[in-house]
Amino acid sequence: MMKIIQPLKKRAASLKHELTALHYAYRHPDTGRLPKILIAVTLAYALSPIDLIPDFIPVLGYLDDIIIIPLLITASIKSIPPRVLEECRSEADINPISLKKNWKSATVIIIFWIVILFAIVQSFL
């Protein structure tokens, strides 16, 4: 069991570091508009206290934690110029910050589910 937990803890720490680097990249003047949009979506989704796919749904509930968030982080990283990414990773090493849960992004997810539920109800009427 310990053999499984240790690599997961290491991967989680790595993802947290990358999120901090993305935060700095978002604020960097040499990061383009499209990468900033992708970074904003990534940070909002990763920091939302409410998942798009709730964890209580078997298997699918953990899909975002295992697949969606790492894919968003990877796509964001690939969109950033390499020089900027290196600067931001260094900044994340020197000045790690605690990124807090974002209730604004949670509101967007709640609205999304309300719209979906409304559409389902309307289709049965």
User: Can you give the chain as a three-state secondary structure string?
Assistant: CHHHHHHHHHHHHHHHHHHHHHHHHHHCCCCCHHHHHHHHHHHHHHHCCCCCCCCCCCCHHHHHHHHHHHHHHHHHHHHCCHHHHHHHHHHHHHCCCCCCCCHHHHHHHHHHHHHHHHHHHHHHC
pLDDT digits (tens, 9 = 90+) for 67-97: 888 899 999 999 999 999 999 999 999 998 8
Question: What is the reported pTM?
Answer: 0.72
Question: How do residues 25-75 score in pLDDT, each as one tens digit?
Answer: 999 999 999 999 999 999 988 887 777 777 677 777 777 777 888 899 999
Task: Break the chain into its structural domains and give their ranges.
Answer: 2-124
